[in-house]
Each structure stands twice: as structure tokens, then as C-alpha cells.
Amino acid sequence: MAEKTEQEKRETVKELVKNARISMLTTMTADGKHVSRPMALQDVEFDGDLWFFAYSDSDVIAQIGANPQVNVSFSDEKQNNWISISGAAERVDDRAKAEELWSAPLKAWFPDGLDTPTLTLIKVHADTAEYWESAHSSRVVTLIGYAKAAVTGKTPDAGENETVRL
């Protein structure tokens, strides 16, 4: 198989992000501890930026204000794919962008919808991404491959692993 070009790797990142949707956003506390929390990605057309809704008075907003370097990780269990994106986050108060990104399921977390007084956006500008794309879309085939590797002592075919500058 031919090696992917940087553009092809970026396209793979876009597809993996689009298919996963739920992420873990990791920030750093004032005392240097990493904290992760589940976040629903709002913009599936990944162009190097990731968008999330948050409350402006939340810990996550305070943490990115103090240290904007974050990590966003995704797991697509259906396809056995994983992606880790590093970048810088910022709080964005932009009503027009919030209206563009808003979807009905967000009412579960923000009952007043777009009129939630402390509603804000988090924008993560991605610098790099690392992904692991399974060689097999079937979890059973992947697990059999791991079991076989454990018995034979040979490294399993875990699929493709690439690091991409975005």
C-alpha cells in the first residue's frame, strides 16, 4: 500500500472526527493536573477547528483561560478507530456562530437554548493529530488478531497509525 500524502492524512483525520462525534476534552488545572470531560462536537465539517458549547462560568472555561493548550480525543468504537488532536482552545462569545452550530439535542444541557445567560463556545484550533485506523472494521476480527498475536508472540496488525500537522 502506498504511503498517504499529507493531504490524504488530513482527509483521514476529517473523516475520523466526523464519524466519532463525542470526544474527551482534556485541559489542565491551575495546579497542573489534567482533567478530561466528554464533549459533543458541534461542527462535523472539520477544517482544523473544533467547536463545543459550554457555560461561561464552568471549570473548563477557567482552565482554557489559564492554559489554552488542550487535547481532544475521539474513539469510534464501531470502526475501531481512535484520534487524538492537540491544539489551543479559546472562549468565543459569538451569537451568530452559536446559532449556526446549535442543534436540538443541546437543550438537554442548555435548557434555555441559545438564550442561556452563560452560554458560550469553545473553539479548539488543532495543531496536530495522531490517529489509529483499524485494519479491520469488525471488532471480532480485531480481537481474534490480538488473541492470535498473544499466542504466537508476533505483533498484531493494529492498522494504520499516522501523525498529521494540521
Show the cell assigned to 129.
493529530
What pLDDT is recorded for position 146? 45
d(CA 82, CA 165): 17
What pLDDT is recorded for position 15? 87
For the chain, which ranges sit under pLDDT 50? 138-146
d(CA 6, CA 69): 23
Smallest CA-to-CA distance from 30 within 7, 77, 63 is with 63
Residue type at 91 in one-letter notation: R
What pLDDT is recorded for position 140? 45
List, as own/partner pairs, every contact residues 154-160 make where C-beta atoms lie below 8 angstroms and the sequence separation is at least 24, other chains included: 158/132, 158/134, 159/80, 159/132, 159/133, 159/134, 159/135, 160/131, 160/132, 160/133, 160/135
CB neighbours of 59 closer than 8 A, spacing ≥ 6?
29, 35
What pLDDT is recorded for position 158? 55
What pLDDT is recorded for position 161? 80
What pLDDT is recorded for position 151? 61
What pLDDT is recorded for position 89? 98
Decide which of 3.40.50.300, 3.40.50.410, 2.30.110.10, 1.10.1060.10 is the CATH code for 6-165: 2.30.110.10
CB neighbours of 146 closer than 8 A, spacing ≥ 6?
156
Q: Which residues pair with 38 in a beta bridge?
A: 24
What pLDDT is recorded for position 71? 98
What pLDDT is recorded for position 133? 85
**Residues 58-101 pLDDT 10s:** 999 999 999 999 999 999 877 788 999 999 999 999 999 999 99
- Domain-wise residue ranges, the chain: 6-165
**HSE-CB for 147 with a 13 A CA cutoff:** 6
SS3 14: helix
What pLDDT is recorded for position 22? 87
What pLDDT is recorded for position 145? 47
Residue type at 2 in one-letter notation: A
